[in-house]
Amino acid sequence: MLSLRVFCPADLAAEAEQLLAREPSLVSLAVVAGGSREPAGDLLVATIPRTTTDAVIGRLQRLGVTERGTIEITTLSGWTSQRALAVQQSEAPDDQDAVVWTDVVQEAYDASGLTWGFLAFMTMATVIASIAIVLDSQVLIIGAMVLGPEFGAIAALGVALVTGRPHLLWSALRTLLLGFVIAISITTALFLVLAQLGWVTSSVVSGPRPFTEFIYRPDNWSIVIAIIAGIAGVIALVTGRSATLTGVFISVTTIPAAGNIALALPFGDWDEVTGSALQLGINITGMAVAGSLTLLVLRRLRIRAHRKPG
């Protein structure tokens, strides 16, 4: 169940209240007359299932509420209501997996922002991945994968393509490009220093690494894994199943590939640089394309469901 807080202009409040009251899936509705100072008007608080949230918000938008007012969406962590239970069983049996596109778009904008936190996590993850390659440690590789924050921006690419938002597309592309370039550059500079100190030698980079050599040797399975990870990641994001994302992070070779590029550059090992760059490109492209197609299918299913009579 979700709670909608509608800060509604006074001249639209009565019509917005009637619109909400007529919604068959409505669980509860509270009206605070004069409860909104900006815009000057009423505060409407409605409880509805996830499955009908997009339709209700769409009608409020067409009424003009969002042009001068605000709609806030909050997930209810718990509730006790026979009415809510009846609505969930009859009107919204798949409520937990329903997609709220307003939330999806907002999360995509948040994930596509180039922030110092994003750059910090990208850099730390890339450094750990490079150390993992030096030590040939699968445990550290997994740690670097989990620490990397890049999947949100990759998913934002799909949201931008499906919803036709060029600004979001550019923002996500810029964040990914600069994020990887800065993280690789800082890690390369670090390992240049470590090479001078004798901590790392060219034999470590070019020598046998049975547990991490997959990073610079992409194959057909790299494409398959990227596609599956893109589908799983997008479904996890849009349905709010964040715990599933950990498995997605561990599945894709993006951060490890960046780490191997940064490690190989100081020693001029161009075979590993090109192989890792290819691995990185395959994973990002595969996830972005698979995520876009998954979002497109989910959107089509939503439109088809709303067109059903009754």
Confidence of residue 310 (pLDDT cuts 50, 70, 90): very low
At 47, the amino acid letter reads: T
Q: What pLDDT was estimated at residue 119?
A: 95
| Residue 295: pLDDT over 70 | yes
Residue 269 has pLDDT above 80, yes or no: yes
Rounded CA gap, 12 and 42, in Å? Answer: 9
Cα Rg of the chain, angstroms = 24
Q: Is the pLDDT of residue 25 over 80?
A: yes
Q: How confident is the model at residue 89 (pLDDT cuts 50, 70, 90)?
A: confident
- Nearest alpha carbon to residue 262 among 197, 201, 204, 181: 181
- b or e along 34-68 (b: 16 or more beta carbons within 10 Å of the residue's beta carbon)? ebbeebebbbbbbbbbbbbbbebbeebeeeebbee
The predicted structure's pLDDT at residue 247: 66
User: Residue 125: its pLDDT value, please?
Assistant: 94
Sketch the domain layout of the chain as residue ranges.
2-98, 105-303
Residue 302: per-residue pLDDT:
67
Of the listed ranges 112-116, 209-213, 259-263, the least confidently predicted one is 209-213
Confidence band of 6 (pLDDT split at 50, 70, 90)? very high
Average pLDDT over all residues of the chain? 85
Q: What is the dihedral of CA 260, 182, 242, 47, to 10 degrees?
A: -170
More confident residue, 301 or 220: 220
* pLDDT greater than 60 at residue 309: no
CA neighbor of 20 nearest in space, from 47, 1, 41, 39: 47
Hey, which CATH number is domain 2-98, 3.40.50.720, 3.30.300.10, 1.10.3760.10, 3.30.70.120? Answer: 3.30.70.120
Give pTM, 2 decimals: 0.79
pLDDT beyond 70 at 245: no
Least confident of 27-41, 127-141, 249-263: 249-263
Selected residue with higher pLDDT from 252 and 223:
223
- Look at residue 301 and tell me whether its pLDDT is greater than 80: no
pLDDT digit string, tens, across residues 118-150: 999 999 999 999 999 998 888 899 899 888 888
Q: What confidence score (pLDDT) does residue 189 get?
A: 95
> Could you tell me whether strands 70-75 and 28-36 are parallel, antiparallel, or unpaired per DSSP bridges?
unpaired
Map tokens 């979700």 to a residue. 2
Phi, psi of 220 (to 5 degrees): -60, -35
Percent of the chain with pLDDT over 90: 35
Nearest CA to 98 out of 304, 309, 298 is that of 298
Side chain identity, residue 198: G
Q: Report the alpha-carbon distance of residue 175 to residue 187 in Å, rounded.
A: 18
pLDDT band at 94, cuts 50/70/90?
Answer: low
pLDDT of residue 304: 61
Asked whether residue 96 carries a pLDDT value surpassing 50, the answer given is yes
* pLDDT single digits (tens) 167-223: 999 999 999 999 999 999 999 999 999 988 888 888 877 777 887 888 888 888 888
Report pLDDT for 233: 82
